[in-house]
Amino acid sequence: MRRDAIFYTIFQRSPELIFEFVDLPNSFPKNYRFESVEVKEPTFRIDGVFLPPTDTFPRIVIFAEVQFQADELLYHRFFSELQLYLYRNAALYDDWYGVIIFAKRSLEPNNTIIHQPQLDSSKVQRIYLDELGDSSEQPIGISLMQLTTASESEMVSAAKSLIARVKQQENGILSENDLLDIITTIAVYKFVNLSREEVEEMLGVKLEETRFYKEAKAEGREQGRKEGKEEGREEGREEGREELKIELIPMMLARGINVEEVADLLGLTVEQVRAYIR
């Protein structure tokens, strides 16, 4: 499972969650938008960039990196990309901030000498999800991020516990429906081989009541009509699994996930995904 893809999908849907990690004044505007941006000459694609509202000052652009595997060149790439982006957009921003989220500290590059001054500065925040403490004692937004690292054996109880907290507690970031929607999204990524009914029973929620499922189903049906593939509701457990996968394809593609990653996440072949979107 590509957990970094889950993070970027979540951030795209709810950019406000980045402020669980960024230490900015409470008065700072929170209506950022999340983008994947391309910087040319040479070409870089930066997956996680939070762009500030155009009418705010100072205009602070936030760069985010999510790391779930070892990469000794991570800091070289991260700082090169963000500096090149700032160079190409010098007139648009007044300052920058960087957030690097690691699943665990051991994934951090060993050699940090070149970039140590930047890493030690107030502009860069490194987060280690496994060191944040008991998920039940964290703000709901951070608990949500920790949920992505839960093993399959831990996922069910952790998700149910978080759902109970969401229904009981007020939070200053997202509505209850939005949070339940994101928890459902994480579960769908994690248990892609389960049928819709199995996921519903596992979490104790109805997927069709969440925005995620409504959007996925609406987009899936529309695309299915265009392709002439909607031939009635499939029956049976195995057929139900395939139906959910197909309905998720346009949703994932719309969130900026490429064809290869969609195929990997859903357990399909690249040809199957491409055949659906032709």
- For residue 80, give the amino acid letter: S
User: Each residue of 227-272: pLDDT tens digit?
Assistant: 554 444 444 455 556 766 776 776 676 555 767 777 777 778 877 7
Mean pLDDT of 208-229: 56
Give the separation between CA 235 and CA 178, rounded to whole angstroms. Answer: 30
Higher pLDDT, 3 or 30: 30
Give the pLDDT score at 122. 92
Q: Does residue 205 register a pLDDT over 80?
A: no
Confidence of residue 150 (pLDDT cuts 50, 70, 90): confident
> Concatenated DSSP letters for the chain?
--HHHHHHHHHHH-GGGGGGT----TTS----EEEEEEETTTTEEEEEEEEPPTT-SS-EEEEEEEE-S--TTHHHHHHHHHHHHHHHTTTT-SEEEEEEEESSGGGS-S--TTTHHHHHSTTEEEEEGGGS--GGGS-HHHHHHHHTT--HHHHHHHHHHHHHHHHH---SSS-HHHHHHHHHHHHHHHTTTS-HHHHHHHHTS-GGGSHHHHHHHHHHHHHHHHHT---S---SHHHHHHHHHHHHHHHHHHTT--HHHHHHHHT--HHHHHHHH-
The whole-chain average pLDDT of the chain stands at 78
Q: Which residue has the tokens 């500290």?
A: 105
Across the range 217-222, mean pLDDT stands at: 57
* Highest mean pLDDT, choosing among 98-107, 157-166, 188-197: 98-107
The more confidently predicted of residues 152 and 237 is 152
Q: Rounded to whole angstroms, how far apart are CA atoms 175 and 138?
A: 17
Whose tokens are 């890493």? That residue is: 119
Which contacts (CB < 8 Å, 24+ apart) does range 149-158 have? 149/3, 149/103, 150/190, 152/190, 152/191, 155/187, 155/190, 155/191, 156/202, 156/203
User: What pLDDT does 221 receive?
Assistant: 56
In the predicted structure, residue 175 carries a pLDDT above the cut 90: no
- pLDDT bracket for residue 100 (50, 70, 90): very high
**Whether the Cβ atoms of residue 77 and residue 102 lie closer than 8 Å to each other:** no
pLDDT at 238: 59
The span from the CA of 140 to the CA of 157, in Å, is 15
The residue among 185, 249, 189, 255 whose CA lies nearest residue 222 is: 249
